[in-house]
């Protein structure tokens, strides 16, 4: 398996003395859906800022596509085209007075000609379903709309790796579902999607790689069913077990013969639920 | 978000080339400043108001309320201009104050009325710009006029973050008053102090964060963004030209008066 992003022994301490990362080594497979889980203050955002070269490791290294990051102008510009971050608070990201300007900012920084910028902006607006907002001023928008503009602004740079910091925070359930569908689509196009969250249900259902961080350290990582199998560890970190996983485990304990692999979604779980009525009808 | 701005984005002149609108307003303003004829002031005030209400589609009630804003200020300062203090008491209205008389003369009234109308007509012109042209379009024109990019970037950032700042301040104010922060005068002072100092800290944090989010999208010291493609309209330019010729003819000493009469009847 090839890895798109990796870190080795990453340390980072903020000027105020907060040790945000302590020897983090992890590898994110290319084309994967990775969820970085962890309680608040675990170091998720700091890790992300290393992924696109905003922060320079104080010790250890960051590796993109097998090569250690370099921090000169050209290399950084190159990296930031390939690794895009959607930040948690849209108001810190939106600087421009109108949506179309905001979305065109990134592509222009890549030195693309105006016609190509236009094409990309239109595409990004269409992908995120906000064409009708193009000429709106950014401060007219609702929170959900602002979030989508931020997403479009990063997508317009056509990154290979999309990083989203707490993308579902404050979104209503319908928007969360739309976002997840959208990320699924990006995944199908072969892009790597990394998101941070403390929503274990989301991580369990969506991700194919889960990393758990706590107090700046990588606690565990692997496929969701491997990671959540260690109940004690997950609870020690301050996270809960995904409800689907809990129900599935309880069914097994009750002696229900579950043959299939652990269900990943509500639908898969419901299909396996023991149902006496069905059995009666069957007889 | 001010209502003024909402109209700037939704009025019927929104997609007229901003350069045309700016030129129209600037030229008219210069005319107003240069001339001292009351008929020009009235003419401009009426025409600009009709354009705003009839063409741009700004609701009459809203526009009149906007005009009332400077009116209160104009009336007070107009009154001061109209008042004369003199030793020779041949005034239209007067109160005598010992050796002097305070009152209004015909000339004084005329000067005051002129000043007020001049100011009102100029304000109407500026409202025309503010109600039909969003800031974004304005900066696009300034960019064409080769105003340094740094100035324009600052303008954009100031504009964007003044609304963020206002939002933050409102949120803080609500959270403070929901905890009785403004229930008495001393407490209000203290709460306001907290609000202002916190606002400063938050802005600082926000600026740092902005630097990060911009860098992560490859920012290298220049904001380059797409601008709405506007097209100069020959018809509009001719209309503006005719408007200026008409103003000139009206203002021309001697000949202008007759022209007005002819147009008027």
- pLDDT, one tens digit per residue, over A176-199 is 999 999 999 999 999 999 999 989
Q: Say if residue B264's pLDDT is above 70.
A: no
The CATH architecture that domain A3-92+160-240 belongs to is 3-Layer(aba) Sandwich (3.40)
Instruction: Choose the mutation target among B226, B228, B230 for the interface with A, i.e. most A CBs under 10 Å.
Output: B226
Do B124 and B190 lie in one domain? The reply is no
pTM here? 0.79
Q: What are phi and psi of B32, to 5 degrees?
A: -60, -40
Spatial separation of the C-alpha atoms in residues B136 and B154, rounded to whole Å = 13
Question: For residue range A229-242, what is the model confidence (pLDDT) as tens digits?
Answer: 999 999 998 889 99
What is the model's pLDDT at position A279?
Answer: 54
Q: How many residue contacts between A and B have a Cβ separation below 8 Å?
A: 108
Spatial separation of the C-alpha atoms in residues A65 and A75, rounded to whole Å = 13
What is the model's pLDDT at position B58?
Answer: 92
Question: For residue range A43-62, what is the model confidence (pLDDT) as tens digits?
Answer: 999 999 999 999 999 999 99
Residues of A in contact with B165 (CB under 8 A): none
| Closest Cα in chain A, distance from residue B152 (Å) | 12
At residue A266 the predicted structure's pLDDT band, cuts being 50, 70 and 90, is confident
| Closest Cα in chain B, distance from residue A140 (Å) | 7
Q: Which of A89, A108, A157 lies nearest to residue B225, judging by beta carbons?
A: A108
Q: Which of A54, A95, A121 lies nearest to residue B160, judging by beta carbons?
A: A95
Looking at the 3D structure of chain B, how many domains does it have?
2
Asked, for residue B138, whether it belongs to a domain, the answer is no
At residue A271 the predicted structure's pLDDT band, cuts being 50, 70 and 90, is confident
CB B104 within 8 A of CB B83: yes
Do B110 and B2 lie in one domain? The reply is yes
Do B202 and B249 lie in one domain? The reply is no
Do B106 and B203 lie in one domain? The reply is no
Do B43 and B126 lie in one domain? The reply is yes
Torsion-angle region of B180 (φ positive above 0: left; ψ -120 to 50: alpha; else: beta): left
| Closest Cα in chain B, distance from residue A106 (Å) | 5
Residues of chain B with a CB closer than 8 angstroms to some CB in chain A: 1, 5-6, 9, 134-136, 139, 156-157, 159-161, 163-164, 167, 206, 209-210, 212-220, 223-228
Do B87 and B173 lie in one domain? The reply is no
CB B17 within 8 A of CB B233: yes
CB B240 within 8 A of CB B20: yes
Average pLDDT, chain A: 90
What is the model's pLDDT at position B106?
Answer: 81
What is the model's pLDDT at position A84?
Answer: 94
| Contact (CB<8Å) A97/B227 | no
Do B11 and B113 lie in one domain? The reply is yes
Residues of B in contact with A95 (CB under 8 A): 156-157, 160-161, 210, 213-214, 223
Residues of A in contact with B209 (CB under 8 A): 87, 89, 92
Residues of B in contact with A137 (CB under 8 A): 1, 5, 9, 134, 136
Q: Say if residue B259's pLDDT is above 50.
A: no
- Provide mean pLDDT across the span B86-107: 75
At residue B254 the predicted structure's pLDDT band, cuts being 50, 70 and 90, is low
- Provide mean pLDDT across the span B46-72: 91
Q: Say if residue A170's pLDDT is above 60.
A: yes
Do B261 and B184 lie in one domain? The reply is no
Q: Say if residue A209's pLDDT is above 90.
A: yes
Do B4 and B118 lie in one domain? The reply is yes
Q: Say if residue A277's pLDDT is above 70.
A: no
> Going by C-beta distance under 8 Å and a sequence separation of 6 or more, which residues neighbour residue A40?
A198
Q: What are phi and psi of A196, to 5 degrees?
A: -110, 145
What is the model's pLDDT at position B207?
Answer: 85
What is the model's pLDDT at position A136?
Answer: 85
Largest separation between any pair of C-alpha atoms in chain A: 72
Question: For residue range B143-198, what is the model confidence (pLDDT) as tens digits?
Answer: 888 999 889 888 888 888 888 888 889 989 999 988 888 989 999 999 999 999 99
Asked, for residue B141, whether it belongs to a domain, the answer is no
What is the model's pLDDT at position B257?
Answer: 45
A140: nearest CA partner in chain B? B1
Do B89 and B55 lie in one domain? The reply is yes
Asked, for residue B22, whether it belongs to a domain, the answer is yes
- Which residues span the domain enclosing B93? 1-133+233-265
Q: Which of B217, B224, B227 lies nearest to residue A157, judging by beta carbons?
A: B217
Spatial separation of the C-alpha atoms in residues A79 and A51, rounded to whole Å = 9
Do B124 and B32 lie in one domain? The reply is yes
CB A64 within 8 A of CB A82: yes
Do B50 and B22 lie in one domain? The reply is yes
Domain residue spans of chain A: 3-92+160-240, 242-283
What is the model's pLDDT at position B265?
Answer: 35
- Provide mean pLDDT across the span A255-279: 74
At residue B262 the predicted structure's pLDDT band, cuts being 50, 70 and 90, is very low
A106: nearest CA partner in chain B? B217
């Amino acid at each position: 398996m090839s890895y798109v992003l990796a870190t080795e022994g990453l340390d980072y301490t903020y000027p105020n003395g907060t040790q945000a990362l302590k020897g983090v080594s992890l590898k994110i497979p290319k084309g994967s859906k990775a969820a970085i889980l962890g309680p608040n203050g675990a170091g998720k955002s700091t890790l992300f800022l290393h992924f696109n070269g905003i922060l320079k490791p104080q010790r250890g290294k960051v590796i993109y596509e097998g090569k250690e990051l370099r921090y000169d102008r050209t290399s950084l510009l190159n990296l930031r085209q390939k690794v895009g971050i959607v930040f948690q608070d849209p108001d810190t990201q939106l600087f421009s007075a109108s949506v179309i300007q905001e979305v065109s900012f990134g592509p222009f920084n890549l030195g693309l000609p105006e016609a190509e910028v236009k094409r990309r902006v239109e595409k990004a607006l269409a992908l995120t379903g906000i064409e009708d907002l193009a000429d709106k001023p950014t401060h007219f928008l609702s929170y959900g709309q602002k979030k989508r503009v931020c997403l479009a602004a990063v997508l317009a740079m056509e990154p290979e790796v999309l990083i989203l910091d707490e993308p579902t925070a404050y979104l209503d359930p319908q928007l969360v579902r739309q976002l997840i569908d959208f990320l699924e689509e990006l995944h199908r196009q072969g892009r790597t999607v990394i998101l941070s969250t403390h929503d274990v249900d989301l991580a369990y259902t969506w991700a194919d790689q889960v990393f758990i961080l706590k107090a700046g350290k990588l606690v565990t990582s692997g496929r969701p069913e491997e990671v959540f199998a260690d109940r004690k560890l997950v609870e020690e970190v301050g996270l809960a077990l995904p409800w689907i996983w809990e129900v599935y485990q309880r069914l097994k304990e009750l002696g229900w013969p579950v043959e299939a692999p652990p269900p990943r979604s509500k639908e898969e779980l419901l299909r396996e639920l023991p149902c006496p009525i069905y059995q009666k009808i069957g007889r | 978000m001010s209502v003024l701005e909402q109209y700037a984005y939704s009025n019927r002149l929104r997609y007229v080339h901003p350069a045309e609108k700016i030129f129209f307003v600037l030229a008219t303003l210069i005319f107003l400043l240069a001339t001292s004829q009351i008929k020009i002031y009235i003419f401009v005030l009426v025409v600009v108001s009709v354009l705003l209400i009839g063409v741009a589609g700004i609701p009459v009630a809203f526009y009149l309320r906007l005009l009332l804003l400077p009116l209160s200020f104009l009336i007070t300062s107009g009154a001061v201009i109209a008042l004369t203090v003199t030793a020779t008491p041949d005034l239209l209205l007067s109160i005598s104050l010992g050796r002097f008389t305070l009152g209004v003369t015909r000339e004084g009234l005329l000067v005051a009325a002129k000043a007020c109308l001049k100011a009102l007509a100029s304000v109407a012109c500026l409202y025309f710009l503010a109600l039909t042209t969003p800031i974004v379009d304005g900066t696009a024109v300034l960019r064409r006029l080769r105003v340094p990019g740094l100035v324009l970037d600052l303008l954009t950032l100031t504009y964007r973050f003044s609304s963020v700042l206002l939002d933050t301040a409102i949120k803080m104010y609500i959270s403070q008053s929901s905890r009785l922060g403004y229930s008495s005068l001393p407490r209000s002072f203290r709460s306001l102090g907290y609000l202002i100092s916190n606002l400063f800290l938050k802005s600082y944090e926000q600026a740092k964060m902005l630097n990060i989010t911009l860098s992560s999208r490859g920012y290298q010291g220049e904001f380059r963004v797409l601008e709405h493609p506007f097209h100069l309209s020959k018809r509009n330019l001719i209309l503006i030209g005719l408007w200026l010729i008409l103003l000139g003819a009206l203002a021309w000493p001697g000949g202008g008066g007759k022209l007005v009469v002819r147009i008027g009847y």
